[in-house]
Amino acid sequence: MARSEELVVADVGVTHPDKVLLPAREGGDPVTKADLARYWEAVAGTVLPHLAGRPLTLQRFPDGLDAGGFVQQDAGKRAPEGLHIIDTPRREQRSGADEVVHHPEVEELADLIRLVQFGTVTLHGWNAVAGALERPDRLIVDIDPGDTADLAGIRDVARAVGRAVEDRGLVPFLQSTGSRGYHVVAPLDASAGHDHVKGVAQEIADIVAAGNPSELTTAVRKDARRGRTFLDIGRNAYGQTAVVPYSPRARPGAPTATPLDWDELGRVRPDQHDIRSIPRRLSRKTDPWAGFADHARAPG
């Protein structure tokens, strides 16, 4: 450490490195700013390709989870010095608001450390990248478990969504969310707009839900879901985001959104991996999403 009160990673200072941002989960330790910085340092080589050029929304907890946090899209005037920014046009103008949103962008490890210093825990990314913001490069179906859903049932839903994605001529990738569910994500060739991609996602979700309407729904209104598992395709709209691969979640122990091989689905819980297990996992296993972009297809 350069000074007793500062940790330096990638030439970026992290003040108060021992500050606890997340409490421990059972059998573990609390998560500090230093823990998050060292985590990003350990996995940056794997994570950075998933983030390059992608506008981000931040979930920040400057004083820790127990003190409450907030979601921040625009980096604002107090953004860490040197942080990369992507300007994204607003589709709906608001009185007094800028015509663009100044989204944070991660191009290098130093950006990740700047965001830790900013009190950021979770990163949520767009489905499109700079230079092609109107043309998404991925399609997402978010499986949000219902009130009575069990893990075996949620895994079956993920498999059904994966098959429906394949039936559309796309290649499904799997990610645990670090929370309660899974994401099924298909790489796209950025040849279509958000509205078209959202429509394709809706068709996929409708087909899966129709196969088990007593347990599954695509209803956006919570009161219409009646406790059923929600197949959420809303993340495919312009400006919407989803948790990025390997991001910690704002939960005790910092569980992570984790790319999985499909044959791991039956073994890995949605919140199983965390910032302490992921570096070990990646030291012995290739990132299951390493070839993600190589499978990009037109959404049809």
CATH code assigned at 122: 3.90.920.10
For the segment 202-232, what is each residue's pLDDT rounded down to a tens digit?
A: 999 999 999 999 999 998 888 888 889 999 9
Instruction: Assess whether 60 and 109 both reside in one domain.
Output: yes
Q: Are residues 14 and 115 in the same domain?
A: yes
In a domain, 117, yes or no: yes
What's the 3-state SS for the chain? Answer: CCECCEEEECCEEEECCCCEEECCCCCCCCEEHHHHHHHHHHHHHHHHHHHCCCCEEEEECCCCHHHCCEEECCCCCCCCCCCEEEEEECCCCCCCCCCEEEEEECCCHHHHHHHHHCCEEEEEEECCCCCCCCCCCEEEEEEECCCCCCHHHHHHHHHHHHHHHHHCCCCCEEEECCCCCEEEEEEECCCCCHHHHHHHHHHHHHHHHHCCCCCEECCCCHHHHCCCEEEECHHHCCCCEEECCCCECCCCCCEECEEECHHHCCCCCCCCCECCCHHHHHHHCCCCCCCHHHHCECCC
Tell me what pLDDT residue 93 has: 55
CATH number assigned to the domain comprising residue 195: 3.30.70.3300
pLDDT value for 188: 99
| Shared-domain flag, residues 106 and 36 | yes
Which of 2, 52, 25 is CA-nearest to residue 244? 52
Tell me: the pLDDT tens digits for 141-179? 999 998 888 999 999 999 999 999 999 999 999 999 999
Between 2 and 215, residue with greater pLDDT:
215
291 within a domain of the structure (yes/no): no
The least confident of 11-20, 51-60, 140-149, 252-261 is: 140-149
Same domain, 126 and 255: yes
Tell me: pLDDT of 293 over 80.
yes
Residue 221, domain extent? 138-236
Mean pLDDT, the chain, as a whole number?
A: 95
Same domain? 220 vs 258: no
Residues 128 and 15 in one domain: yes
Predicted local confidence at residue 222, as pLDDT: 83
Residue 95: predicted pLDDT: 52
**By C-alpha distance, which of 294, 2, 282, 293 is closest to 129?**
293
Across the range 77-83, mean pLDDT stands at 90
Q: Which of 259, 255, 250 is CA-nearest to residue 290?
A: 259
Q: Which two tokens stand for residue 78?
A: 């107090």
Please check whether residue 299 lies inside any domain of the structure. Answer: no
Residue 114 lies inside a defined structural domain of this protein: yes
Assign 91 a pLDDT band (cuts: 50, 70, 90): confident
**Residue 122: predicted pLDDT:** 99
Does 149 share its domain with 262?
A: no
Choosing from 236, 254, 270, the residue where a domain stops is 236
Q: Is the per-residue pLDDT at 1 higher than 70?
A: no
Do both 17 and 122 map to the same domain? yes
**Of the listed ranges 95-109, 167-181, 258-272, the one predicted with least confidence:** 95-109
Q: Are residues 25 and 115 in the same domain?
A: yes
- Regarding whether 212 and 81 lie in a shared domain, the answer is no
Q: Domain check: are 152 and 55 in the same one?
A: no
- Considering the chain, what percentage of its residues have pLDDT values greater than 70? 97
**Same-domain check for residues 128 and 266:** yes
- pLDDT at 3 (0 to 100): 47
Q: Count CB neighbours of 266 within 10 A.
A: 10
Does any domain span residue 273?
yes
